[in-house]
A and B are shown apart, each in its own frame.
Chain A
Amino acid sequence: MMRILNRIRATGTLTEPAPDLHDPEIEALGREIKTQVDARFAGSLAIREVDAGSCNGCELEIHAVNGPHYDIERFGVHFVASPRHADVLLVTGPVSRHMETALRRTWEATPKPGFVIASGDCACNGGEFGVSYASCGAVENVIPVDIRIPGCPPSPVELMKGILALIGTAKTA
């Protein structure tokens, strides 16, 4: 037990300051949705992640966002186990046709108004997979999308910028 406590003490706090939102693109995005999201979510956000066909690269980085360096939960952002508990769906992947109905049902199970973030190039525009017999392509081809976070995969900082822009809590800008 002492070794665990010593290790924890020696590790200290790894969590880094919130990312700077001076990126003009993100700022514009933030301004656009800040007002309504502040009113609706009171600065706190429950996210249900849905892999609708990703290669799992996006999931690795979403995991990292919950890790000690980024710890997104300190901003009131919580990843939840059910769409029924969620304010936001964070959707990755091109939507595979085999996941199309599952994604729709997840969206229907999300209380309205529910926001949808398309996360990663595949979710934004189909990415490397596009539209085919097996893929519906971008998430917006299946359910309405409010915000897009490009990247293959988006890094934890890019994810945080996207999510923080959505909830508009980052007052550092």
Chain B
Amino acid sequence: MSRFDWLSEFLAELEEEHVVVHSGSARALAPAHLLRIDPEDWGKAAAVARNMDLRWAGIWGDEQDNDIVLSALLVNQGDYVVLRTAVLSDNPEIASHTPLYPGANRPERHLHDMLGVRFTDHPDARRWTRHRAWSEDQHPLHHDFPVAGNPPEHTPADADYPFAPIQGSGVYEIPVGPVHAGIIEPGHFRFQAAGEPILRLEERLGYVHKGIEKIAVGRDAEGLARLAGRISGDSTVAHTWATCQAVERACGMRPPERASIIRGLLCERERVANHLGDIGAICNDVGFAFPQMQCQALREQWQRHSAELTGHRLMMDVVIPGGVMINLDETAITGLRDAHVRLRDQARELFDILDDQPSLEDRLLTAGYLSPDTAKALGASGYVGKASGQAIDLRADGLYAPYSRLQFNTALSENGDVAARMGIRQEEVFSSLNLMDEMLDMLEQQSDRIDIFAELPDAPCGEGLGLIDGWRGEIVSYVRLDEEGRVARFFARDPSWFTWPALERIVLGNIVPDFPVCNKSVNGSYSGHDL
């Protein structure tokens, strides 16, 4: 099957629906195809996409002169299309994609809060990212909104957020958060329960909104990469890579091949570290402390090795625009090979024990079920999608180096429960180890004096799209640079945007005390979502 062989059918279907595509470009946002359409066709185009089973993967807006330029990302078979249109900034109104794609619900509300775009037939008119730090008629991403804003002296709690009410005999609510009982990020969960089973869960996020899209504006490429490395600390490599890839594409340059291989290696290291930590934590959430301690120990050894290689335990700021900060010499490569062999043995022994524990099975099997249909409707990627039959893995699509040269099979299950999500992560530990070994082979075939960094051109200008498979799933990063090479617009879409709503479905019918293990099996990023 060749790339984009479905695109002509999509264009024909659009024409059938009288959607005029004004211009198309395979290059402007490569590897995505850019299609410009009229704002009144925005909803119809999404309906065509929905009929053809395209996945909806995000939306962002960009104030330019008197317009707000809107871009929506759609995916089919690993090929990306950006639908683009423009609405007037003094009356930014457009059809919502949410009635067709439930995953669009919060991203559109985010865009409304940040840029004032009104989605006319959106089923949920409530604020999302906005709490009480700015008012309803203010929109932080407008150019005339100052970075400092004009917040109240003390920002009050968002106490009057209208949660959907529920009534019935014996039905009660449990409000949890934003400050949680463990060492975790803040967010609010509103449980509605009768007895032990959860009838409904409503999430309220946005507590760690740090204005990332706003404070990115005006930064140079290096400053943007540092910021991207702090969108979600547990995904620092993946987010920085996606952003650097977007910057490099905007500049029309590529990093040296060796840099791409090292980036791949670091990104897989990040995946392994997080999978190990979460496998242990899932077991701990059902009262099984042994795997938690074992996994924490493995993770600690792994992170110490990362610090030896890169000078940072989480490998922050190692990926930079144009390449990477560190090279790997022969000694480092040998050390990595040994570590891979060791971890493979240790993980196999540990996972065998886990697979052989009926009491663990009893707690994880059938708990927290997400149906393949719901996962698909929401567009959940990563292990949440894979455990519910969604084979979304950008590494397998060969869209970017070094994966374009590697064979890779996506772990997949239809079971959709906590056990399946943990199983996918166990499989991915091994597949990452195999991928890393292959990357070491690639490095060894080169001289280690080969460049790991290429200069960006002076005052690059343009836009670029970064697409990286992080350990949580698909990361999208959009960057537009102005004439001086400074950031004019930055948007990062963490995979958590689509797995957080999945959690609301996952917990239904489960007992309240199983919420922690359900939540941990999804492990959405609060910071990556709240921006």
Contacts and interface: CB of A to CB of B under 8 A. Distances in A.
Interface residues of B, number: 63
A98 B155 contact: yes
- Most chain B CB inside 10 Å of its own CB: which residue of A55, A63, A82, A96: A55
Interface string B125-151: 000000111100000100001111111
B457 interface: no
B207 A67 contact: no
B233 A56 contact: yes
B232 A55 contact: yes
Interface stretch (B55-63, B289-297, B379-387): B289-297
A135 B297 contact: no
B353 interface: yes
A11 B527 contact: no
Contact of A101 (B156, B293, B300): B156
Q: Chain B at the A interface: mostly helix, strand, loop or mixed?
A: loop
B277 interface: yes
B192 interface: no
Interface in B213-234: 214-215, 226-227, 230-234
Given A67-B297, A134-B149, A58 B233 contact: yes
B207 A99 contact: yes
B349 interface: yes
B133 A102 contact: no
Contacts of A134: 133, 140, 149, 209-211, 214
Interface stretch (B177-185, B334-342, B412-420): B177-185
Contacts of A59: 183-185, 233
A73 to B, nearest CB: 12
B208 A93 contact: yes
Nearest to A64: B300
Interface residues of A, number: 55
A95 B458 CA distance: 36
A80 to B, nearest CB: 9
Interface stretch (A2-10, A25-33, A162-170): A2-10
Nearest to B304: A69
B246 interface: no
Given A59-B185, A133-B214, A102 B208 contact: no
A129 B145 CA distance: 17
Contact of B349 (A7, A50, A61, A152): A7
Given A54-B527, A64-B296, A133-B214, A97 B151 contact: yes
A97 B297 contact: no
A39 to B, nearest CB: 28
A49 B183 contact: yes
A133 B149 contact: yes
Interface string A32-60: 00000000000000000111111111111
Nearest 7 A/B pairs, CB to CB: A133-B149, A57-B233, A134-B211, A97-B133, A67-B296, A81-B181, A55-B233
6 contacts: A3-B353, A11-B294, A53-B210, A57-B316, A104-B154, A135-B211
Given A56-B527, A57-B234, A134-B211, 12 more contacts: A7-B349, A51-B208, A56-B525, A60-B233, A64-B299, A96-B210, A102-B178, A102-B179, A128-B230, A129-B211, A129-B212, A133-B145
